[in-house]
A = this chain, B = another copy of it.
Amino acid sequence: MNFETLDVEQAGAVLSVAISAPPMNLLGPALVRDLVALIQQAEADDTVQVLVFSSADPDYFISHVDILQIPEYRQATVNLTGGEPSIGLLFRYLSNSRLVSIAQIAGRLRGAGSEFALACDMRFAAAGRAIFAQPEIGFGLVPGAGGMQHLTRLMGRGRALEVILSGNDFDSELAEQYGWVNRALPADEIGGFVISLAHRIAAFPAGARRQIKERINAIALAPTEDFRRDSNAFGAAASNAESQRLSKVALSRGFQTRDWEMDLAQELPGLAQP
**Nearest CB of B to A143, in Å:** 8
Residue in B155, B165, B204, B207 whose beta carbon sits within 8 Å of that of A201 in the complex: B165
In the bound complex, do residue B273 and residue A203 qualify as a contact, i.e. CB atoms below 8 Å apart?
yes
The SS class assigned to the A binding surface is: helix
Given contact pairs A140-B207, A165-B212, A203-B273, a sample of 11 additional A-B residue pairs in the complex whose CB atoms are under 8 Å apart: A100-B161, A120-B158, A121-B158, A137-B212, A142-B211, A148-B219, A153-B219, A158-B179, A162-B197, A165-B201, A208-B237
How far, in angstroms, from A270 to B213 measured CA to CA in the complex?
22
Contact in complex: A161, B219 (CB < 8 Å)? no
Q: Can you report 7 A-B residue pairs in the complex whose CB atoms are below 8 A from each other?
A: A121-B158, A137-B208, A142-B215, A148-B219, A153-B219, A203-B269, A219-B222
Cα separation A213 to B158 with both chains bound (whole Å): 11
> What residue in chain B is nearest A134 (Cβ atoms)?
B212
Q: Which residues of B contact A244 (CB under 8 A)?
A: none
Count chain A residues whose beta carbon lies closer than 8 angstroms to a beta carbon of B.
67
Chain B contacts for A162, CB-based, 8 A: 121-122, 182, 197
Asked whether, in the complex, the Cβ of B208 is within 8 Å of the Cβ of A142, the reply is yes
